[in-house]
Amino acid sequence: MTSLGSHPRSVLRAGLPTLRPLGWLLVLLAATSLVLAVLLSGGVPRATPGLQDAGPLTAWMVPLARTLLDVTTFAVAGCLLLAGWLMPCPEGRLSAPARRLVRLAGRWALAWSAAAVCLLLAGTAQLVGRGVREVVGTPALYRLAWGTPQNRGLLLVAVAGAAVAVLGARARRPGAVRWALAGTGLALVPLLVAGHVATASSHYVAAQSLVVHVLAASLWAGGLLVVVVHLRRETDLLPVVMSRFSRVALWCFVAVALSGLAGSWVRLGLSWETWHSPYGVLAAVKALVLGVLGTLGAAHRRWALPRLAAGAPHAFARLAVAESALMAVATGLAVALARTAPPTDALTRATPPHANTFATVDRSIEPVSAWNLITGFRPDVLVLSIVAGTLLGYLLARRRLVGRGHPWPARRTACFLAAEVVAAWAMCGGLGSYSAALISAEATRLLVMGLVVPALLTWGSPILLVSLLRGASGTRPTHVRRPGPVNGLVALVLVLAAALMTPLLEASLRSPALHAGTAAAVLAAGWLFLGPLLGVDRASAERRDERDARLLVVVLALLLLVQAGHLWTSTSLFASDWFTALSWPWTDVRSDQRLAGGVVAAFAAAVLSSLPWVGRGRPPAFPQDRDVR
**Nearest-5° angle of CA 321, CA 327, CA 331?**
145
Residues 513 and 620 in one domain: yes
Evaluate whether residue 21 is within a structural domain: no
Evaluate whether residue 1 is within a structural domain: no
Evaluate whether residue 378 is within a structural domain: yes
Instruction: Select the highest-mean-pLDDT range: 30-34, 364-368, 617-621.
Output: 364-368
Residues 237 and 324 in one domain: yes
Residue 561: band (very low, low, confident or very high) from pLDDT cuts 50, 70, 90: very high
pLDDT at 177: 93
Q: What share of the chain is helix, strand, coil (3-state, %, to 5)?
A: 75, 0, 25
Residue 356, pLDDT above cutoff 60:
no
Residue 544, pLDDT above cutoff 60:
no
Once rounded to an integer, what is the mean pLDDT over residues 193-210?
66
Residues 241 and 136 in one domain: yes
Range with lowest mean pLDDT among 148-157, 233-242, 397-406, 499-508:
233-242
Residue 527: band (very low, low, confident or very high) from pLDDT cuts 50, 70, 90: very high
Residue 196: band (very low, low, confident or very high) from pLDDT cuts 50, 70, 90: low
Once rounded to an integer, what is the mean pLDDT over residues 33-38?
64
Evaluate whether residue 457 is within a structural domain: yes
CB atoms within 10 A of CB 351: 12
Residue 524, pLDDT above cutoff 70:
yes
Close Cβ partners of 597 (under 8 Å, ≥ 6 residues apart): 563, 564, 565, 566, 567, 568, 569
Once rounded to an integer, what is the mean pLDDT over residues 136-146?
71
Q: What is the DSSP string of 194-250?
A: TSGGGGSTTHHHHHHHHHHHHHHHHHHHHHHHHHHHHSTT-TTTHHHHHHHHHHHHH
Residue 619, pLDDT above cutoff 70:
no
pLDDT at 40: 58
176: DSSP letter: H
Residue 96, pLDDT above cutoff 80:
yes
Residue 614, pLDDT above cutoff 60:
yes
Bridge partners of residue 618, in order along the sequence = none
Q: Which of 116, 106, 119 is nearest to 17 (CA)?
A: 106
Q: Which of 91, 62, 74 is nearest to 27 (CA)?
A: 74
Q: What is the DSSP string of 312-329?
A: -HHHHHHHHHHHHHHHHH
- CATH number of the domain to which 195 belongs: 1.20.1630
Q: Of 345, 378, 393, which one is at a domain's C-terminal end?
A: 345
pLDDT at 537: 53
Close Cβ partners of 306 (under 8 Å, ≥ 6 residues apart): none
Evaluate whether residue 167 is within a structural domain: yes
Per-residue CA distances from 339 to 66, 152, 551 (Å) = 10, 19, 60
Identify the domain containing residue 59 by its residue range: 30-345
Residues 606 and 529 in one domain: yes
Evaluate whether residue 358 is within a structural domain: no
Residues 162 and 71 in one domain: yes
What length is written for the chain?
A: 629
Q: What is the DSSP string of 52-75?
A: ----HHHHHHHHHHHHHHHHHHHH
Q: Of 312, 345, 378, which one is at a domain's C-terminal end?
A: 345
Residues 341 and 374 in one domain: no
338: DSSP letter: H
Contact by Cβ (8 Å): 58, 126: yes
* Interatomic CA distance for residues 339 and 279, integer angstroms: 9
CB atoms within 10 A of CB 569: 9
pLDDT at 57: 77
Q: Which residue has the higher pLDDT, 534 or 451?
A: 451
Q: Of 345, 379, 400, which one is at a domain's C-terminal end?
A: 345
Q: Which residue has the higher pLDDT, 389 or 624?
A: 389
Residue 218, pLDDT above cutoff 90:
yes
Per-residue CA distances from 618 to 27, 531, 536, 613 (Å) = 54, 10, 6, 8
φ and ψ of 494, to 5 deg = -65, -40
Residues 578 and 511 in one domain: yes
* Interatomic CA distance for residues 241 and 89, integer angstroms: 12
Residues 486 and 424 in one domain: yes
Q: Which residue has the higher pLDDT, 482 or 82?
A: 82
Evaluate whether residue 213 is within a structural domain: yes
Bridge partners of residue 377, in order along the sequence = 429
Residue 21: band (very low, low, confident or very high) from pLDDT cuts 50, 70, 90: low
Evaluate whether residue 571 is within a structural domain: yes
Contact by Cβ (8 Å): 219, 185: no
Residue 350, pLDDT above cutoff 60:
no
Residue 10: band (very low, low, confident or very high) from pLDDT cuts 50, 70, 90: very low
Close Cβ partners of 353 (under 8 Å, ≥ 6 residues apart): 202, 361, 362, 363, 364
Once rounded to an integer, what is the mean pLDDT over residues 448-464?
93
Residue 291: band (very low, low, confident or very high) from pLDDT cuts 50, 70, 90: very high
pLDDT at 535: 61
Residue pLDDT, tens place only, 152-195: 889 999 999 999 999 877 888 888 999 999 999 999 988 887 76
Residue pLDDT, tens place only, 122-135: 888 887 777 777 77
Residue 278, pLDDT above cutoff 70:
yes
pLDDT at 48: 57
Residue 625, pLDDT above cutoff 70:
no
Residue 395, pLDDT above cutoff 50:
yes
pLDDT at 479: 52
* Interatomic CA distance for residues 290 and 518, integer angstroms: 36
Number of domains in the chain: 2
Once rounded to an integer, what is the mean pLDDT over residues 492-510?
94
* Interatomic CA distance for residues 11 and 8, integer angstroms: 5
Identify the three-state secondary structure at position 377.
Answer: strand
pLDDT at 339: 76
Residue 451: band (very low, low, confident or very high) from pLDDT cuts 50, 70, 90: very high
Residues 443 and 532 in one domain: yes
Residues 411 and 290 in one domain: no
Q: What is the DSSP string of 250-264?
A: HHHHHHHHHHHHHHH
Contact by Cβ (8 Å): 191, 154: yes
Residues 320 and 436 in one domain: no
Q: How many angstroms from the chain centroid is the CA of residue 502?
A: 28
Once rounded to an integer, what is the mean pLDDT over residues 584-603?
94
pLDDT at 432: 93
Residue 53: band (very low, low, confident or very high) from pLDDT cuts 50, 70, 90: low
Residue 513, pLDDT above cutoff 50:
yes
Q: What is the DSSP string of 383-452?
A: HHHHHHHHHHHHHHHHHHHHHTT----HHHHHHHHHHHHHHHHHHHBHHHHHTTT-HHHHHHHHHIIIII
Once rounded to an integer, what is the mean pLDDT over residues 479-494?
80
pLDDT at 16: 41
Contact by Cβ (8 Å): 617, 536: yes
Once rounded to an integer, what is the mean pLDDT over residues 138-161?
82
Range with lowest mean pLDDT among 24-38, 237-251, 354-368, 400-414:
24-38
Contact by Cβ (8 Å): 234, 97: yes
pTM of the model: 0.76
* Interatomic CA distance for residues 432 and 121, integer angstroms: 41
Q: Which residue has the higher pLDDT, 350 or 139?
A: 139
Residue 239, pLDDT above cutoff 60:
yes
540: DSSP letter: G
Residues 340 and 393 in one domain: no
Q: Which of 374, 462, 389 is nearest to 422 (CA)?
A: 374
Mean pLDDT of the chain: 81
Q: Which residue has the higher pLDDT, 482 or 9?
A: 482
* Interatomic CA distance for residues 89 and 69, integer angstroms: 30
Residue 26: band (very low, low, confident or very high) from pLDDT cuts 50, 70, 90: low
Characterize 11-42 residue by residue with b for buried, 16 or more Cβ atoms within 10 angstroms of its Cβ, and e for exposed: bbeeeebebeeebeebbebbbebbbebbeebb
Bridge partners of residue 429, in order along the sequence = 377
